Amino acid sequence: MQTKKEAIQQAIYQSAVNEFLEKGFEKASLRQIVKKAGTTLGNFYNYYENKEAVFASIVESAYIGMVQLIKNHHQWERNDELWDLTDVEVWRRELRKLILPMVPAITIPFVILIEGSEGTRFAHAKEDLLAVMEEHFMEHIEEFNPKYPNPQMAKVMAEQLVFGLVMIVKSNEDDEVRQQLIIEEILFFAIGVMGILKAF
């Protein structure tokens, strides 16, 4: 049975998720959070140490997952022959295998971590991820067309891809749909990147 204590904690947690998702850490108002959770400001501090603590309780595991992902980033595409494929549908199938394990990490807490961490000790998370991804795109450029004249696109691609994943999660609540769209998103990037690299 769920005790009342847990019910309120849950209510605060959920209300905080909504508030942080909508406004980010700094703009989020504890007064707003507790009001929507049906309790009082003083009582909030019986459940969480402070504003950052409830934020941390939301994003912490997403952060840990992200750190893992970054640590293993050299394994992201092991089979190099992937890039030789020309049939998009085959590509899609191969990508799915590659991407599926990462999908469960891409959730609302992940979105809050990326978009709403300013002002917290997680503020560096977004930049860390972007740095790795930029480097990753850079490696593709080096490999496929070292003479590509716009390497600044690596950074743009990194930010854009992360932002795209964030948008997919925010706009779609169903897990199946999210999964599908994430595959499409990454396929889209793979095709686009190869495309602009080819010609020069």
Region near a second copy per CB under 8 A, out of 4-12, 61-69, 72-80, 146-154: 146-154
198 near a second copy (CB under 8 A)? yes
Q: What share of the chain is helix, strand, coil (3-state, %, to 5)?
A: 80, 0, 20
Of 30 and 103, nearer to DNA (C-beta) is: 30
Interface pattern 66-105 for a second copy (x via CB under 8 A): ---------------------xxx--x-------------
Q: Indicate the DSSP class of residue 149.
A: S
Cα gap 3→6, rounded to integer Å: 5
Of 51 and 140, nearer to DNA (C-beta) is: 51
Region near a second copy per CB under 8 A, out of 9-17, 101-109, 136-144, 189-197: 189-197
Q: Encode 30-79 in three state secondary structure.
A: HHHHHHHHCCCHHHHCCCCCCHHHHHHHHHHHHHHHHHHHHHCHHHCCCC
Q: Provide the minimum distance between the beta carbon of 109 and a second copy in the complex, in angstroms, as a whole number.
A: 20
Interface pattern 76-105 for DNA (x via CB under 7 A): ------------------------------
For residues 85 and 94, the answer to whether their CB atoms sit within 8 Å is: yes
Show contacts with a second copy in window 159-178 (CB under 8 A).
159-160, 163-164, 167-168, 171-172, 177
42 near DNA (CB under 7 A)? yes
Tokens of 101: 């394990």
Cα gap 107→1, rounded to integer Å: 27
Of 43 and 68, nearer to a second copy (C-beta) is: 43
Q: How far is CA 2 from CA 10, 17, 38, 40, in A?
A: 10, 20, 17, 21
Interface pattern 43-62 for DNA (x via CB under 7 A): x-xxx-xxxx----------
5 near DNA (CB under 7 A)? yes
| Footprint of DNA (CB under 7 A) | 4-5, 8, 28-32, 39-43, 45-47, 49-52
